[in-house]
Structures are given as structure tokens and as C-alpha cells.
Amino acid sequence: MDYKLFYWDLPFRGNFVQLMLEEVGARYQRRHASEIYPEHGLAIHNPGMAPPYLYECRSQTYFAQMPACLMHLGREYDRLPAPSELHTLALKTILDCNDVLKEITNNNGLLMWQKEPWEQFRSQRLRRWMQVFEHTGLAHGLKSGDGFLLGSQLSVADIAVTALFGTLLHCLPPLREDLLAAAPGIAGLCERIEARPAIRTFLQKQRGEYGSRYCGGQIEDSLRQMLG
Ligand SMILES: N[C@@H](CCC(=O)N[C@@H](CS)C(=O)NCC(=O)O)C(=O)O
């Protein structure tokens, strides 16, 4: 066993780590977040605020913070670009993705969405975020039918973008038209990454179990109401 991933029975933030574990063929167990959070959250070494938690068996280390988990796996499995500027852009991309998760859930579900702020977010910030990823890809040679976000090789950035938008489109399909309009290259990239054998097999199984569940809670209900 290489890793244990502690998360809820949802794709949302956990799939960033899990798609990576699948892509690299790591031996891992998916465990329920409640085994750690909240009761035992401070009892582990290097505690974090909330799931996901990644436990590395070899080093007996817990990692919290999704971007840290993903960067760690990227380094362990050689899925980080070698030039230091691209390495930093990979981190930046993962942080961008984590920001989108927070924004789309209205600050991790602090307030439920109302029609007007949602429509404003959808047509302005969400659209702009999509364009941010699209422009990054185009600047590094992403084409409509091939390529990756940061150059000629798959990196953690491709896994992150797919965990963000592939999941979003599967769970909240009305947003597909938004991505196709604002970031067609990213839409194609997500399809290609989701079609990679290990990831495809995993997603088929997970989507069979979870259906279209996304982030859970009242905020997911609120998002669905907004999308009619
Ligand atoms: N910045 C953290 C955010 C963690 C987070 O917000 N986790 C959510 C699920 S995606 C959670 O379980 N929140 C429960 C809580 O904060 O009480 C990360 O990137 O991992």
C-alpha cells in the first residue's frame, strides 16, 4: 500500500488527488474523511483544517491541503515539468483550481447562492477563470485535438484541470456550454485526460456509485436550483 486518501463520498476536492493516484498506478485506499475529521484532526502529525488528507505509508506522513497533496504526488511520480518556471506554473494552476472550487461553492458553502449573484458569477468570474486556463494552455501549445496544459507532456496541471472541469461538467451538465464557449481547448483536454485508460476505468466506477453528486450539502442543492 502506497497511500491512503481520506475524503467524503463525493468527487469535489478529493478527485484532484484520486485522479493522480489512478493515473500513476499508485496502490491506495480511499477512506472516509470522518475517520480523521473532525474528532481526530488535531491528533495526526501535520494537522490540516479539513479533508482531503493524504497519508503516505512509506514516510508515515499525513498531508493536508489539496494543492500540497497534488504537488507531492507530482514530485514522487515525476509528473511535474522540469523547468522551474513551469514547475511554478503547475502549482499556480492547482491553486487557481482550488480558488474556483471555493468560488463556485460560494466560499465553501458559507452562504447559499441567490439568482442574481449566481448569474453574475457565472457570466463574469467563472467565465474569466475558464479563459485563464484556456489562455495558459494556448500559450504552451495546447491544440483542439492534442497537447497538454503546460507543454508536450502530461503534468499535475492536466490532472488538476480535469478534476476541476471534467467533474463540473459531469455533475452540473448545463455548465458544458459555458466551458465550450469560453475554453474549447480545455474542454477537449479534459475529455482526453478522462479517456486515459486508468482514469476512464476509475471514473466509470465512481460515477456509477456517486451519480452526479458534486460537492454535497445544501450548497450543492443551491447550485442545482440555480441551474434549474
Ligand atoms: N484548503 C483546503 C480546503 C479543505 C476543505 O474546505 N475541505 C472541505 C471539503 S472539500 C471540508 O471537508 N470542509 C469541512 C469543514 O471545513 O468543516 C484544501 O485545499 O484541501
Phi, psi of 64 (to 5 degrees): -115, 175
For residue 67, give the ligand 1 atom closest to its CA.
19
Please list the residues that pair with 32 across neighbouring strands: 7
> From the CA of 164, how far away is ligand 1's center (Å)?
15
142 and 220 part of one domain: yes
> What is the model's pLDDT at position 111?
96
100 and 185 part of one domain: yes
> From the CA of 69, how far away is ligand 1's center (Å)?
13
- Within 10 Å of residue 222's Cβ, how many Cβ atoms? 17
> From the CA of 97, how far away is ligand 1's center (Å)?
14
> From the CA of 184, how far away is ligand 1's center (Å)?
29
Q: Domain ends where: 20, 44, 76?
A: 76
Angstrom distance (rounded) from CA 96 to CA 99: 5
Do 207 and 34 touch, CB atoms closer than 8 A? Answer: no
Average confidence (pLDDT) per 10 residues, the chain, 228 residues: 98 98 98 98 97 98 98 98 97 99 97 98 98 98 96 98 98 98 98 98 98 98 97
70 and 126 part of one domain: no
Angstrom distance (rounded) from CA 9 to CA 7: 7
191 and 100 part of one domain: yes
Range of the domain at 10: 3-76
> What is the model's pLDDT at position 115?
98
Q: Domain ends where: 52, 76, 100?
A: 76
Q: Domain ends where: 48, 76, 104?
A: 76
Residues 5, 108, 65, 91, CA torsion sign: positive
What residue has cell string 502549482? 91
165 and 198 part of one domain: yes
**Ligand 1 atom 1: the closest Cα is on which residue?**
65
> What is the model's pLDDT at position 47?
97
**Residue 40: which CATH number?**
3.40.30.10
**Residue 202: which CATH number?**
1.20.1050.10
Domain count, the chain: 2
Q: Using a 6 Å CB cutoff, which residues line ligand 1?
A: 12-13, 50-52, 65-66, 98, 108
Residue of 12, 37, 49 to test ligand 1 pocket, by largest number of atoms within 8 Å of CB: 49
Q: Which helix (H) or strand (E) holds 223?
A: helix 217-226
45 and 104 part of one domain: no
> What is the model's pLDDT at position 5?
99
37 and 149 part of one domain: no
